[in-house]
Structure formats: structure tokens, C-alpha cells
Structure 1
Amino acid sequence: MQEQPESAFVPGLTARVELTVTDADTAQAVGSGDVPVLGTPRVVALAEAATVAATATRMPAGMTTVGLRVELDHRAPTPVGRTVAAEARLATVDGRRLLFEVAVTDGADTVAQGRVERVLVDRRRFVERATRTA
């Protein structure tokens, strides 16, 4: 019997990624507002980067994960020059679906918190399907 690719992942996998906020990361720069603080789209991207990092060392050959759902509360502003860290923890594996709990912190303060759901897919087939012309 062939092992299923999703069996490579077990709840509890974690990863942490950091970002030092620059002008390019602000709400003004990414078009999500008009204030010079870390923009919500960059917070989401950082949280997703942590989920990708959590699965990277166990990713079966030819497979990848793609984002399915993000639920994130962006609770506090972060000014340019400050470093934030996103930590992802794989909470649930349901077949090919991977549910992560994520937190973004600025020192001891929680900047954002939520969940990110990703799906394990065959990378080649996914890209072929996405780039097919009508």
C-alpha cells in the first residue's frame, strides 16, 4: 500500500519567520490604507510564509501547499523599523487540508492572530491547470 503524501505532516509542526518593516510594507505602499504602518496584506503574507516554512522540510517530492482560507485579526499597528515575527503551528491535518494557528508578534505584543488553511496538491498538475488557456 502506497503512503499518502499528507501523512508526512503531523500536528505540532511549527515555524517562525521575521520581517523588519520597511516603507514598502506599509498600508500606504500596498494600497490597503493611507497610514505609514505595517499593512494587513503584508501581515497575511508573513503568516502564510510561516505556514509554508512549517511544512518545507517534510514536503513530499512533487507536492506543494496552496492557500485556501485565511482568518486573521490584525490587532495593533507596527511602525516602520520594527521587527515582527510570525509563528505558525500545524493544529489539524484532515486529509489534504492543513489547518494552522498563527500569531504575529512585535516583542511581547500580539499584532495579529488567526488561522490559515492550506491544501496539499500535486505541484505540476496544479500549475498546468492554472495556466491552461481557454
Structure 2
Amino acid sequence: MPMPPIGLRHRESVTVDASLTVPSVSPSFRHFHDMPPVFATAFMVGFVEETCVAALEAHLGPGQRTVGTHVDLSHEAATPIGMTVTVEVELVEVEGKRLRFKVEARDDKDVIGRGHHERFVIDEAKFLARLEVKARS
């Protein structure tokens, strides 16, 4: 299947609730529990990845998926519970199976983040087979 076209754009929105705030990132990270209840950088990165995956959905062949390989994002403004965050991505470079996206995240008031995210197109079956070998070694 041909690679997605440069210039491909997509946007997704989510309303921030308590489950998307810093104290909710993970019980394994005990120092986060008493942090301010604002949209977490970790969840912003995940939301950027989700938006890129959604953008690519119609452009991948059977058995193809993408995996994130590089994240270069700022987190410039805090977003409180109740605000909506919108991430817009634009595919700006395709090199072989490497896809580079320009990213901007906004809440109801400000640009909260911007940068670039790279993904790599994989054959899911081959990827999982290599992962199984790695897990057994």
C-alpha cells in the first residue's frame, strides 16, 4: 500500500477530567500524587500519538500499524479540569517507513504544546514475532 500523503491533517479533542491529570498518571509514580490536578504531559504525549494513529488509519494496509519512535514536544501552558484539549497533526515528512508529524495542542484558551512526533510503519505480525523472541531471551 502506498504511504500516506505529505500534508495529511487530522485533529482530535478530549475534555480533561481527573483521570487525565498529573496525580492520575500512575500509582507507580508516588511523587505525582500531590501534584496540581492539570492535564498531564504524559497524557498529552499519549493524545498526540492517538491523534497520529487516527490520522493514519485509512492509509495503512492490512496488518500494518505504526509505532512511536520519537517525541519532541513542548508543554507550554497548564490546562485545568473541564477544559477541552484539541491536538492537530500534519504529516510533514515521509522517509521510507518513517513518518514525521508537526503537532500543535490547544486548550480553550492557549496553545499548550507544539513540536514533532515520528512514527514508523510496521508489519504487526513480524513485530510481534520479534517481540516474542526478545521476551524469551
TM-score of the pair, normalised by structure 1: 0.91
Question: C-alpha offsets along residues 47-76 of structure 1, whole Å, 9 cap, x if unaligned?
Answer: 111111111111111111100000000000
Any runs of at least 4 consecutive aligned residues in structure 1 with deviations exceeding 3 A, and if so which? none
The AA in structure 2 aligned to 1:11 is I
How many equivalent pairs are there?
129
List gaps (5 residues or longer) in structure 2.
Answer: none
TM-aligned CA deviation for residue 131 of structure 1: 2.5
Q: Residue 38 of structure 2 corresponds to which residue in structure 1?
A: 37
The AA in structure 2 aligned to 1:43 is M
Between stretches 101-110 and 56-65, larger displacement belongs to 101-110
CA distance in 1, matches of 2:105, 2:75: 9
CA distance in 2, matches of 1:129, 1:61: 19
TM-score of the pair, normalised by structure 2: 0.89
Q: Residue 74 of structure 2 corresponds to which residue in structure 1?
A: 73
Q: 2:11 aligns with which of 12, 16, 37?
A: 16
Question: C-alpha offsets along residues 72-110 of structure 1, whole Å, 9 cap, x if unaligned?
Answer: 000000001111011111000001000000111113520
Between stretches 68-77 and 15-24, larger displacement belongs to 15-24
CA distance in 2, matches of 1:95, 1:125: 17
CA RMSD of aligned residues (A): 1.3
List gaps (5 residues or longer) in structure 1.
Answer: none
